[in-house]
Amino acid sequence: MNAWVVRGLGMALIHVFVRVILGVSITQWPLQGSALRWLALLIVVFVALIWAGIDGIRDRRRNPDPEDGADLTMLWLKAALLGGVVAGVGSWLANLVPNLNVTQNSFFFEITSGAAFTVLLIFVPAMLAVFLGRFFVGRDSRKTVKDRGERRPAAHGAGVAAGAAAGGTAAAAVADDDGYGQNYPGQAYEQTPDTGYAGSDADTAVFEPVHNYREDTSDLDQSQGGDTTWQDPVDLGKRTTDDPRRGE
């Protein structure tokens, strides 16, 4: 069954029920007729407000974009037209029951003027409720999106600050003047027997030179045979067979 048919029949049933209760109440308390009529009118309007408001809230939650929303105007217009005609027919039929003073109007009046008034009682409150339901849901959605947008820059800024602090701590570990150690801020890196690393305030270690050249190299020039005469360098590629330095 279509949604507008359900709403139209539902509102018509409520309207007929309220009119029947109103007729019985006026019969019992004839002096309170005016107040009872206003009360019956408010009940019908209240039901239309609640039902249409729920439709507006659901539609906006399903379709946050207003352009994608359902056409609730036509839905409730058709429901109001159906409800007005059915309520007029139902009220006239209920008046045929003995001891029920539902209406004093004719059948034609109930399906024309009476139905038109019922249509207004359903359609106008329904449109107001749809507007309010969509408005409040849309406002809450925009507020939620705004809060999320404000939290994201704050979280991003905290992450950047933490990264900068970590980067600054890493960059603070710099080599000392002689390059033999590193200075770590806030730490005393002392020399240990196992590692042999010196702290930032320790004196620079002096290493022995790799090559210790001696000025007196006469002992190196003496060969095993004791010949200390100078000989010209010999090209190994052109060495003669009787060369004593061939190493054979």
Instruction: Answer whether 95's CB lies under 8 Å from 117's CB.
Output: no
Q: Which pair of tokens denotes residue 187?
A: 């730490």
**Is pLDDT above 50 for 179?**
no
The residue segments making up the domain with residue 8 are: 3-141
pLDDT averaged over the chain? 75
Confidence of residue 56 (pLDDT cuts 50, 70, 90): very high
How many structural domains comprise the chain?
1
In angstroms, the CA 29 to CA 121 distance is 25
What single letter denotes the amino acid at residue 176?
D
Please compute the mean of the pLDDT values over residues 35-40 and round it to a whole number. Answer: 93
User: Which pLDDT score, from 0 to 100, does residue 222 have?
Assistant: 53
CA nearest to 104, candidates 94, 117, 119, 115: 94
Q: Has residue 171 been placed in a domain?
A: no
Please compute the mean of the pLDDT values over residues 42-65 and round it to a whole number. Answer: 92
Burial class (CB in 10 A: 0-12, 13-18, 19+), 118: buried
Confidence of residue 184 (pLDDT cuts 50, 70, 90): very low
Q: Has residue 102 been placed in a domain?
A: yes
Confidence of residue 180 (pLDDT cuts 50, 70, 90): very low
Q: Which pair of tokens denotes residue 79?
A: 């429901």
**Is pLDDT above 60 for 100?**
yes
**Is pLDDT above 80 for 141?**
no
Q: Which pair of tokens denotes residue 129?
A: 């409720």
User: Directed axis angle between helix 33-62 and helix 72-94, to 10°?
Assistant: 150
In angstroms, the CA 77 to CA 10 distance is 14
**SS3 (DSSP) at 33:** helix
Name the range with the highest mean pLDDT among 93-107, 160-174, 182-196, 213-227: 93-107
Q: Has residue 17 been placed in a domain?
A: yes
Q: Has residue 54 been placed in a domain?
A: yes
